[in-house]
Each structure stands twice: as structure tokens, then as C-alpha cells.
Amino acid sequence: MKPLEKLRSKYTGCMLGAAIGDALGKQNEGLGRKDILENGYVTDYGKARPGCPGEKLREGQYTDDTEQMIVLAQSLIDCNGFDAMDFAEKIAKWGVEAQNDPARKKLVGPSSSAAISRLNSGILWKESGSEIPSCGSAMRVAPIGLFYNNMDEIESNAALSSIPTHNSKGAIAGAVAVAVAVRRALCERDCIEIVKDAAGRASKYDSGLAKKIELSFEKKDTEPDKVFEELGTSYLVYDTVPCAFYCFSRHFGAPEKAITEAVNAGGDTDSIACMTGALCGALHGIDVFPEKWLKGLENRKMIEHLSSAILRKSENI
């Protein structure tokens, strides 16, 4: 494969990987690990179980994680870079649309909901972000790692992209870690280098989260039951981001396994799998995903189109 084709495959793989992980993971969102292992280890698309936030979504349909990632990607393309005001406007508009849709209204997390209300009441993006350290800005941030080539720009724009909705140090650090890891995964073959760089950049914002990301790598040879219990799988960034790094590191050469591991982790499975999928796709490219996952994914063409547009912009900055 020629270098540009390989890069295109990785850009597309990153965004599709996020959407695939999200669409698979939504089936288990909010369920306990034990319950998942006893009643239905998920390896393919299906409906979410009754009571899950995504119970009204179709098979292969993704959740708010991917929807917010798409909003961010579109904003980067429209503005030729990250523009906080444009992104905040777009996310506020998206939020109202999602909250008015009976199938999607339960998907929007606590930080995003609060921020959307504030933005729509006229509060400026610098003041609208929630203090809850949830993972909403980390789960959507991958396009920043694709758009910018320079690590300092990735770090600063990832941090900025968190502020309109997630203005806690943990959430900002989580967004920085994932964006940096996405960029490193595009050209790095050594897992420890990717994790070290992500944790190093995140440590400027939240040393606790950075340490937990490093721990997730150190635990990569420990069995998942123990690790998920130790790390926690709640919607908080301190749980979801380390869990995604664990799944990615444990199955570094086997992306299908990494994503499946995340999908069945328990807790915030759609977000853990969304971030795991983004990292796997950036590392391996689109061809590593099973055809059934690519075929069954909703809006595949639209996501491919966005990732190609980001690649074109990225080459010109």
C-alpha cells in the first residue's frame, strides 16, 4: 500500500473504529460485567437490552459518542481548525435535536446536558462547561488527533475542545490523552511509546489520570475481570479512559479482540469501546475490521467522507 493510501486507511479506520466500538458497546451500556458474561457476551451488532439508554436504537446505530465526534469533525472541516465558538454552537444545536428525539434523548450524558442548556440560554462557551469529570470530551476527540500534525497543537486544541461541555481537569486531561494517542498511533508501532506520550501530556492537566493510564498499560497481562474491577468502568473519565488504554494495550496486535474486550467490560461500554476503536483504527487502518462490522454500521459512507476531508485539510496545514 502506498503511504498516502495507508494514511487514508488509518484516518478512516480511526473514525469508523470509534463508531463501530460505540455501536457494539451500546448493547451493554450500564450493565455489570458479571451480568454481561452470564447473559450475552457481545461480538456483533444487536439491539441494546431493555433498560439500557440506547434501547430504542437500531442494530448498528451508534450513540452520542460518535454523534459528538461527527459534530467536532464537521466543525474542524468548516473552520479549517478548531474554533471553540463554532463547535459550541454546533454542539448546542445537536444537543437540542438529540434531546427532542425519543430514541436518543436518554443518551446525552450529565455534563453535555447541563452544558447544552447553558449554551442555549446564552452563556458563552468559556463558562458553559460542567465540572463533572465525565468522559464526553475524551470519547469525541479523535478528529483533533487526526487534524493536527504537531503534538503541541493537538494538546492545546484537545484541551480547548473539552471546555464548552467538560471543564474539569480530569475531562480535559482525558481529551488530551486520547487525541495524543490517536496521533501517535498513526505512525508508531510500539505500544509503550503511545501510552507514555498520552500519559505524559495528560499529566500537565491531571496527574492522577495520567498515573492511571500508565497503570492500565502495566496491567495489560493481567486478566480483564481483575483489571476492570480495579480500574472501574463508570462513565467518569478516570475509569473509561484507562479502560480503553488497557483494552488497546492488552490486544495491541489484535484490534477485533481489543474492541470486543471493551464492549464487554461493563459500565460505560459504548464510550470505552468508542475510544478503543479509535485507537485501534488509527494504528491498524480500516482493513483490520471484520466485514460484518463495516457493513452493518450506520452512516459508514458519511463517516468515511468526513475522515477523508480531515486528511485533505491535515495535509495542508
Identify the CA nearest to 27 among candidates 72, 59, 4.
Answer: 59
Q: What is residue 134's DSSP assignment?
A: B
Q: Determine the size of the site formed for Mg ion (CB under 5 A).
A: 4
Q: How far apart are CA 167 and CA 133, in angstroms?
A: 8
**268 binds Mg ion per the rule CB under 5 A:** no
118 residue type, one letter = R
- Taking CB atoms, the residue at the shortest distance from Mg ion is 63
What are φ and ψ of residue 101, in 5° steps?
-100, 115
64 binds Mg ion (CB under 5 A): yes
Q: Which residues contact 186 (CB under 8 A, 6 or more apart)?
A: 7, 10, 11, 14, 145, 146, 282, 283
Cβ distance 297 to 261 under 8 Å?
A: no
CB of 316 to Mg ion, least distance (A): 32
Residue 67 within binding range of Mg ion, rule CB under 5 A? no
Residue nearer to Mg ion on the CB measure, 194 or 273: 273
Shortest Å, Cβ 275 to Mg ion: 11
Asked if 63 is part of the footprint of Mg ion (rule: CB under 5 A), the reply reads: yes
Is position 65 an interface residue for Mg ion (rule: CB under 5 A)?
yes
Least distance from C-beta 269 to Mg ion, angstroms? 9
91 vs 210 by CB, closer to Mg ion? 91
Q: Does 165 bind Mg ion (CB under 5 A)?
A: no
Contacting residue, 162, 262, 270, 307, with Mg ion by CB under 5 A: 270
Residue (22 or 261) nearer to Mg ion, CB: 22
- Helix%, strand%, coil% for the chain, nearest 5: 70, 0, 30
- Smallest gap, in angstroms, from Cβ of residue 3 to Mg ion? 34
User: How near is the Cβ of 54 to Mg ion at its closest, in Å?
Assistant: 7
Contacts of 229 (CB under 8 A, 6+ apart): 33
Question: Interface residues with Mg ion (CB under 5 A)?
Answer: 63-65, 270
